Amino acid sequence: MRYHNLTVSTIRVTTASAAYSVTIAPGLLRTLYPRLRRLTPGKTLSLFVVTSPAIWALWHDRFLASFPSNQQPTTLFLPSGESHKRLAAVESLAQQLALAGADRDSILLAFGGGIVGDITGFLAAIYMRGIRYVGLPTTLLAQVDSSLGGKTGVNLLAGKNLIGAFHHPLAVFSDIDTLATLPAVELRAGLQEAIKSAIIHDAKLFLYLEQNAPLILGQASDTDPGLSTKFAPKSTPGGIEHQPSNLVFADAKTMAHVVTASVKVKAEVVSKDEKESGLRMVLNFGHTIGHAIEAATHYRKLLHGEAVAWGSIAALHLSLNRGLITPEDFARMANLILRYGPIPPFKVAATPQASAAKLVALTSADKKKRSGRRAFVLATAIGRTEVAHNVTDAELLAATQSMLTTMQQT
């Protein structure tokens, strides 16, 4: 095996309702079947892969490499793109499962990015009132964020993720190699979530991201200057897809470290607070304004990680304005976010003032806001945060305007 000398990291997530392991390594797919076997010893495995046609075309050889010929899983396909993250897709998959004989002992394998994970997890939550699933995230964003924590669901016309369930996977296996076929722009957007993890909870990861930026960004830069635009999700929101490329990740070790450290942050936080009553809120750092940006741009102009990057810069400005962080720490954090760019600029109104006002108005609709109180996550140092419930619209407006000024200067 090419990878025998690469470290396999295993991180345990333990919540009130479930406990499972996240395994991270390059080359993991090639050893998938024995790993699945070990999860449910003694039983015949009834496995159903849910994936996208593009991912399956690129990776099915490695995926199936370890399966005995008489134990091939059934494969169900989801068309890619956020527009398919709806109950109709869930119903179609459920119908296919039923016709293929899936029962309560069957296990779904969610092989793809965040949308595949969200839909498959939700499908598993409601098929026959709940069956098991395994996460096999193939994008950086899914590996460091969405595959963990048990949040599953689909969109309504009225809003994103308004339908869903908490349903934890049986296990998560993240093969770093699958990131090799990810467009650079998607990799960079995922790295912004890693930076967020560093800012909220892991000063050592922050330092690692600072010091290894050239190495990491070497993987995530566009060799073709037009590439970022080429793959930008303007026409198919959420539809950024894996592309044929070398299928080998040049610096898998560094990326594995970044993924592992980010997963540790999320695992620690969700282990302590499964259902977002308090601590888990800190994972929403940058998300209040980030979600407003996504809504204002109709989820078309920026990737989630890019919107969160701008939202994080706004949150840093607010933290600085409150005197919670030093100007030096502010500069280091804002600079790291910008260095892992370019983060596309956006415009939601004619003037910066009007843009800021529009974004702040949109934060009121954020579903994270319960019974009228807005919870806002502030940085208090590199690797430390706190949740404030007394952030005023005026503070939010000032911070958002400062963020837009930063955008104009870059």
**Residues annotated as catalytic (active site), given as ranges:** 129, 151, 193, 266, 276, 280, 284, 287, 291, 304
| Residue 163 interacting with its own copies (CB under 8 A) | yes
**Pair of tokens at residue 41:** 């010893």
Nearest to 197 by CA among 312, 320, 26, 369: 312
Mark residues 138-157: x for contact with its own copies by CB under 8 A, - for none. -------------x-x--xx
What gap in Å lies between CA 45 and CA 29, rounded to an integer? 17
| Residue 126 interacting with its own copies (CB under 8 A) | yes
CB-based contact 130:124 (threshold 8 Å):
yes
CB-based contact 216:255 (threshold 8 Å):
yes
Specify the residue for token string 């080359």.
27
With contacts defined by CB under 8 A, name the span among 103-111, 232-240, 286-294, 334-342 that binds its own copies: 103-111
| Residue 164 interacting with its own copies (CB under 8 A) | yes
Nearest to 149 by CA among 260, 51, 283: 283
What gap in Å lies between CA 58 and CA 269, rounded to an integer? 34
Q: Which is nearer to its own copies, 16 or 350 (CB)?
A: 16
The footprint of its own copies on this chain (CB under 8 A) covers a number of residues equal to 34
Secondary structure element (H or E) that encloses residue 201, with its range: helix 184-201
Q: How far is the CB of 168 from its own copies (least distance, A)?
A: 13
Q: How many other CB atoms sit within 10 Å of the CB of residue 358? A: 15
| Residue 99 interacting with its own copies (CB under 8 A) | yes
| Sole binder of its own copies in the list 95, 245, 405, 410 (CB under 8 A) | 95
Q: How far is the CB of 85 from its own copies (least distance, A)?
A: 13
Mark residues 338-377: x for contact with its own copies by CB under 8 A, - for none. -----------------------------x--xx------
| Sole binder of its own copies in the list 53, 159, 342, 345 (CB under 8 A) | 159
- 74-77 sheet: strands from edge to edge: 9-14, 19-25, 171-175, 132-137, 107-112, 47-51, 74-77
| Sole binder of its own copies in the list 4, 38, 129, 389 (CB under 8 A) | 129
Give 245-310 as a DSSP string: S-SS-TTHHHHHHHHHHHHHHHHHHHHH-TTSSSGGGGGGTTHHHHHHHHHHTTTTSS-HHHHHHH
What gap in Å lies between CA 349 and CA 356, rounded to an integer? 8
| Residue 103 interacting with its own copies (CB under 8 A) | yes
What gap in Å lies between CA 225 and CA 228, rounded to an integer? 7
Q: Which is nearer to its own copies, 99 or 394 (CB)?
A: 99
98 Cβ contact list (under 8 Å, min separation 6) = none
| Sole binder of its own copies in the list 2, 7, 12, 91 (CB under 8 A) | 91
| Residue 8 interacting with its own copies (CB under 8 A) | no
With contacts defined by CB under 8 A, name the span among 24-32, 118-126, 330-338, 342-350 that binds its own copies: 118-126
Q: Which is nearer to its own copies, 90 or 343 (CB)?
A: 90
Q: Which is nearer to its own copies, 14 or 66 (CB)?
A: 14
| Residue 127 interacting with its own copies (CB under 8 A) | yes
| Residue 195 interacting with its own copies (CB under 8 A) | no
Q: Which is nearer to its own copies, 67 or 166 (CB)?
A: 166
What gap in Å lies between CA 312 and CA 338, rounded to an integer? 11
CB-based contact 311:203 (threshold 8 Å):
no
Q: How far is the CB of 198 from its own copies (least distance, A)?
A: 27
Residue type, 106: S
| Residue 230 interacting with its own copies (CB under 8 A) | no
Footprint of its own copies on this chain (CB under 8 A)?
A: 43, 86-88, 90-91, 94-95, 98-99, 103-105, 122, 125-130, 151, 153, 156-159, 162-166, 367, 370-371
